[in-house]
């Protein structure tokens, strides 16, 4: 599962498409955690897609990650600022790749 203390345990490695990247990042095998309020561990995400389908405010969008061992696309929390903290995505992700931090 995603480490909910990633902001303490990882270093911010930069930003991609307006979304924070938390390392370590070594593409294509290691993609890190993306986002802050809504965070997705790209190294755990296997492109199930439930988060994209169920999020009521369309926070997520697919990004391609060719060569990643789990899946070749990931759910990027591109519109995390829109999140209403319903926690649906956290509940539906089959591999617990998502952390939402209300407040
Ligand atoms: Fe979308 Fe709800 Fe997840 Fe926020 S907590 S990203 S609103 S599904
Ligand atoms: Fe990935 Fe989980 Fe969404 S596997 S696509 S973060 S439901």
48-94 confidence digits (pLDDT tens):
999 999 999 999 999 999 999 999 999 999 999 999 999 999 999 99
Whichever domain contains 80, its CATH number is 3.30.70.20
The answer to whether residue 76 is domain-embedded is yes
The answer to whether residue 21 is domain-embedded is yes
What is the Å distance from ligand 1's center to 59 Cα?
7
Alpha-carbon distance of 60 to 100, in angstroms, equals 13
pLDDT digits (tens, 9 = 90+) for 2-37: 999 999 999 999 999 899 999 999 999 999 999 999
Q: How many domains does the chain have?
A: 1
Of ligand 1's atoms, which has the minimum distance to the CA of residue 98?
3
The answer to whether residue 1 is domain-embedded is no
The answer to whether residue 78 is domain-embedded is yes
- Top mutation candidate among 100, 101, 102, 103 for ligand 1, by most atoms within 8 Å of CB: 100
Average pLDDT of the residues in 38-43: 98
Residue 92: what are its φ and ψ, rounded to 5°?
-90, -20
Torsion angle in degrees (nearest 10) through CA of 67, 73, 74, 75: 170
- C-beta 93 within 6 A of ligand 2: yes
- Report the pLDDT value the prediction gives residue 30, as an integer from 0 to 100: 98
Alpha-carbon distance of 92 to 23, in angstroms, equals 25
- C-beta 21 within 6 A of ligand 1: no
The answer to whether residue 61 is domain-embedded is yes
- Report the pLDDT value the prediction gives residue 11, as an integer from 0 to 100: 97
Structural domain of residue 62, as residue ranges? 6-100
- C-beta 88 within 6 A of ligand 2: no
């Amino acid at each position: 599962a995603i480490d909910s203390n990633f902001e303490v345990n990882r270093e911010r490695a930069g930003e991609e498409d307006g979304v924070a990247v938390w390392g370590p990042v070594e593409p294509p095998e290691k993609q890190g955690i993306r986002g802050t309020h809504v965070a997705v561990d790209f190294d755990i995400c296997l492109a199930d897609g439930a988060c994209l389908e169920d999020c009521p405010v369309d926070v997520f969008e697919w990004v391609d990650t060719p060569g990643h061992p789990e899946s070749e696309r990931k759910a990027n929390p591109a519109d995390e600022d829109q999140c209403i903290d319903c926690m649906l995505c956290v509940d539906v992700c089959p591999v617990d790749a998502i952390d939402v931090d209300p407040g």
